[in-house]
Each structure stands twice: as C-alpha cells, then as structure tokens.
Amino acid sequence: MRIRRSALAALAILAVLSLLLAACAPSPPQEMTLATTTSTYDTGLLQAIMPAFEQANNVKVKIVAVGTGQAIALGQKGDADVLLVHDRPNEDKFVADGYGVNRRDVMYNDFVIVGPPTDPAGIKGSKDAVAAMAKIAQAKAVFISRGDNSGTNSKEKEVWAKAGVTPTGQAWYISAGQGMRETLTMTNEKLGYTISDRGTYLARKAGLSLVVLVEGDKVLLNPYGVIAVNPQKWPQVKYNLAMKFVDWITSLSTQETIGKFGVDKYGQPLFFPDSDQYRAAHPK
C-alpha cells in the first residue's frame, strides 16, 4: 500500500513538473510577411538587420523580395502584412485607396545611370539625368529596362517622360522583365546602359564592367517607405506585428544600424536613414 502511494505521489510530481516545463517552454514564433523591393534584399540589408527584430518579437519574417509594383499588389490582395518599398506616388495611392495605413519614411539612396566605360552616348559626368537619357535615345545606344513595374522601372519611365522620349518598341530598347541584379548582368553582357539604385550596383560592382556615368541629379533621389497593410480592408493581416516592425525599423537604434550598413565593405553606406526619429536626433 505504501509502495502504491509512493508511486502515485511520484506520478503526481512528474505531472506537475511536466506542466511547469510546458508553461516555461518558449512559444513557437509568430509569422509575418514582408513584401519588399529587391534592393533591400539583394544588397544584404534585410539579412543583416532582420534577426534583431525577429529575436526581440519572437517572430519569423517571410521576406518576399519583388519589384515595388509587385509588392504593392501583394498588399492590395492582403497577401502581405507590411511593405517596405520605394515608389512614393504609388505608395501614396496605396494608402489613399485604403489598402495601407501609417506610412513612414525609412531611408533613401539614389539612382545612377550606369553603362560601359566606352560610353558610346557620351553622357559621362553629366549631372542632368534627363539630358543624358535623351542622348542615349539619340545615339540609339542599347538600354536595358527592368520592365517589371518596380520602383526603379517607375523612375526610369519618369525620366524618359521628362526627356520627351517614348523608348518602347525601339530596337535599341530592351525590356528585361527582371530584378535589378539580373538587369545589371544583362546590361553588362550587352554593353548597354541602365538605371540602377546605387545600393544594388555597389553590391554587384565587383562582377561588372559597368561604371557610374550620371549621378547627383535630384530627380534620381530614391526614398523608401514602410506601410502596414490596412486590417479594416484585410482582417487576416498581422497588423500588430506589422506596426511593431514599422516602429522598429524607424527607431533610432535601427536607423543608426542602417546608416552603417555597407561602410566596411564599400567605403560608403548603401542606404541613408531618414525616419522622423533619426532626423530629430540628427538635425541638419
């Protein structure tokens, strides 16, 4: 009888210990989908900074790196929780149409016009991107477009429009329908010109013969914004997690990390922090 009671007591103790261990065990991470432009992934920025967010919030972030147009389309369908993109007119439309909320500035870099060192269109050193693109058209020099409705593709279309050029259908104009890395590779192979965000160009520069020919024009500024998908439009989205991400990526500590990214490898940052918190802490 005593043995039986001892066995029952032991079993009871084991049951209590099991419950305690279960209560103390870490809960499985939540999941969140971030739809973003290819440049934030191809440069390695997200891979460098995301682990800190995931660990602090017990979340696993699924990164979908596509053109900005595709990222916005995912948000419009409720297939993403938060966007990190770079096409301000379309970002504003996304919010105005009720698909997104709480857009905030995150960072910026710039676009550059790159091409072969021989520079057949003679645009090297120009500070006027519109005039440079007009000269490429006049020379009928090969131009490779991303052609994927990305933020970079939108900027390219804007500059062509300012130059009064309609390149579509011209023999010298090639639409790649690819991301920036692939477009740079194609441009390199065809000894052509293209517009690239500076960050992706620097990350790929070692494998290319392409050089920066036009830079510094204000029309080539490339700002990035973060937007939570509207839960009133899509109730299934992880809005609370999305807002944690919005708050985190615009926080001063993360902004300072962004500002240092790339300096050790390329001698310059690939992105410049630009959130309200950062600007308040670093007034110009």
Lowest mean pLDDT among 18-22, 113-117, 145-149: 18-22
Does residue 104 come out as left (phi exceeding 0), alpha (psi in the -120 to 50 range) or beta? beta
C-alpha dist (Å) from residue 27 to 59, 60, 72: 10, 12, 31
Burial of 99 (0-12, 13-18, 19+ CB in 10 A): buried
User: What's the pLDDT score for residue 27?
Assistant: 79
Q: What is the pLDDT of residues 200-229, one digit of tens each?
A: 999 999 989 999 999 999 999 999 999 999
- Interior angle at CA 174, CA 65 and CA 41, nearest 5: 15
Domains and CATH numbers, the chain: 30-108+223-281 (3.40.190.10), 110-220 (3.40.190.10)
* The pLDDT of residue 28: 87
Residue 179 CA to its chain's centroid (Å)? 12
Q: What is the pLDDT of residue 219?
A: 97
Instruction: Reply yes or no on whether the pLDDT at 131 is more than 90.
Output: yes
More confident residue, 207 or 119: 119
| Banded model confidence at residue 29, pLDDT cuts 50, 70, 90 | confident
Give the residue carrying structure tokens 């147009």. Answer: 69
Identify the pLDDT of residue 284: 81
The CA distance from 233 to 81, in Å, is 12
Task: Check pLDDT > 70 for residue 123.
Answer: yes
Q: List, for residues 179-204, the tens digit of each pLDDT value.
A: 999 999 999 999 999 999 999 999 99
* DSSP strands (E only) in 150-220: 173-175, 194-197, 211-214
Q: What is the mean pLDDT of residues 121-142?
A: 98
* Average pLDDT in the chain: 93
Average pLDDT over residues 57-75: 96
The Cα–Cα gap between 265 and 182 comes to 22
pLDDT(26) > 70: no
pTM: 0.86
Cβ neighbours, 10 Å, residue 10: 10
